Amino acid sequence: MEKHKVVVCDHIHEAGLKMLQDDERIEYIFAADIDKTELLTVIEQAEVVITRSSTDVDAKFISHANNMKAIVRAGVGVDNVDIDGCSKEGIIVMNVPTANTIAAVELTMAHILSCMRMFPYSHDHLKNQRVWKREKWYGHEMKGKKLGVIGFGNIGSRVSIRAKAFEMDVVAYDPYINGSKATDLGMSYTENFEDILACDIITIHTPKNQETLNIIGAEEIAKMKDGVVLINCARGGLYNEDALYDGLKSKKIRFAGIDVFMKEPATDHRLLDLDNIVVSPHLGANTFESQYNIGVQAAQQAIEAAKGIAYPHAFNLPIDESKIPSFVKPFLVMGQKIGFLASQINKAPIVSIKVSGQGDIAEYLESLATFVTVGAIAETTGDTINYVNADFVASERGIKVESKEEASASVYKNLITVTLTTEKDVIEISATMFSDEVQRIVNINGFEVDVAPKGHMILLRNTDVPGVIGQVGSILSAHDVNIADFRLGRNDKAEALAVILVDSTVSDKTLNELSSLDACISVEYAKL
């Protein structure tokens, strides 16, 4: 009987090791304690490896992975894995994104409690300094306080449920969910970020991406209540660390509970010099239970991958190019990008995703729909969406995904159209591929354009009257925003759509000025 070789490169829970050992189809090698140079020889015949943060899956590692099908990163983060390098060699990269959910939830509650009652400081005062001074340690009760929760996914929703048990008033902000998910639990739901800034305590539970990096900065902190408490047990950088330091130093922020930092280990971080912050060294997954879950789930994924059964939570499920024409893969990649773009333009809970195609690409719409779905949902799910589970995640969220072949009625040999319907609006984007894999968006909601889907993109819809282009140019120039490309489309309703590619991030102030133009109907901003 053929056996599949699985190498465990780092320590995982013994329950996971036992699963590997007990499977008669698996030849299991434990290599967590050997030198990393020697490890390179061990993995040469491995079909699957399980790694953690101690093993860098870099170019040297990949060059020795001669027989490898898949890599399982036992945990959420994949910062130590060269995903592009793995993809080039046809190696599937998977992670274990949900095993530490409860651990992260409970750590968040610990930080909230510590900030409200200053437990770490009173503990140190008595135990280490041997000072008994009760009057120094007056804290605040959680009951009746308003908790703002940014991100209402697996972790944020569970934090909210526990906060309700403390009789807190919970306000949830997540533009990508149906508000009833919060209101059905007796919580408030808001689409106005200002409502979060007005809360007594704010905790964040989002992926780190272009939209959420520095989501709380100096401007947001200035709008908060004096004495606000901020919690971050999600990702380093969601709070701007310079603004956080200034807010804590000035006491605008009364206390902060921080488990994650932009650069780790953060042993020399200036936040550690402050006396109104509770910190921990990235302990979100550090419970025995979560380590058990991670070990078991990682082992199960390794077994399934080794046997070719499935590749759950795959970041880069490869395409068997022997079974598809060479022109298809670039369309799949472009389709994912168009889905991502559409979700940024039309920010609201998604109702349906429709993918249609004209020409030869129409034969591959099912695969295309999967890639579009991954792109459309990626911003709201972080590490939890991939090509394997895209349909399941969409179904779980009540999102209808459909594909349809259209009769060729355009000048393009191949054309794909993505229609994203949310609770607020409908966005329809058509795109094609010119020679040498040149991607082009050719239509947005009925406006014919010709623009590359890349970079910083402003979409301004306006009444088709003279002077608008000049006004737009003046506003962007006043804010030092350089225009890289400016494409204009018009419809039969006396409206125009300007798609403007710029060289740098566009501030909310700039977008507000554009939206205040008399001719402006709407302004959207996206980053690809």
Strand-strand pairing, 277-279 and 201-204: unpaired
d(CA 256, CA 246): 12
Q: Is residue 282 annotated as a catalytic residue, yes or no?
A: yes
Tokens of 446: 């009925």
Q: Is residue 64 annotated as a catalytic residue, yes or no?
A: no
* CB contact at 8 A, 271 and 279: yes
Tokens of 286: 């550090």
Exposure of 14 in the CB half-sphere (CA atoms within 13 A): 0
3-state helix, strand, coil in the chain (%, to 5): 35, 25, 40
Strand-strand pairing, 70-73 and 48-51: parallel
Among 337, 335, 379, 340, CA closest to 356 = 335
Cis link prior to 453 (omega < 30° from 0)?
Answer: no
* CB contact at 8 A, 485 and 452: yes
* CB contact at 8 A, 239 and 213: no
d(CA 16, CA 296): 4
Catalytic annotation, pick one of 14, 167, 264, 321: 264
Tokens of 422: 């949310």
d(CA 186, CA 147): 13
Residue 277 neighbours by CB under 8 Å, 6+ apart: 248, 255, 256, 257, 258, 271
Amino acid identity at 174: D
Catalytic annotation, pick one of 13, 73, 235, 313: 235
Helix (H, G, I), strand (E, B) or coil at 256: strand
Strand-strand pairing, 4-8 and 201-204: unpaired
* CB contact at 8 A, 46 and 69: no
Catalytic annotation, pick one of 282, 313, 456, 461: 282
Residue 448 neighbours by CB under 8 Å, 6+ apart: 442, 489
d(CA 155, CA 152): 7
Handedness of CA 379, 215, 272, 113 (dihedral sign): negative
Q: Is residue 235 annotated as a catalytic residue, yes or no?
A: yes
Catalytically annotated residues: 235, 264, 282
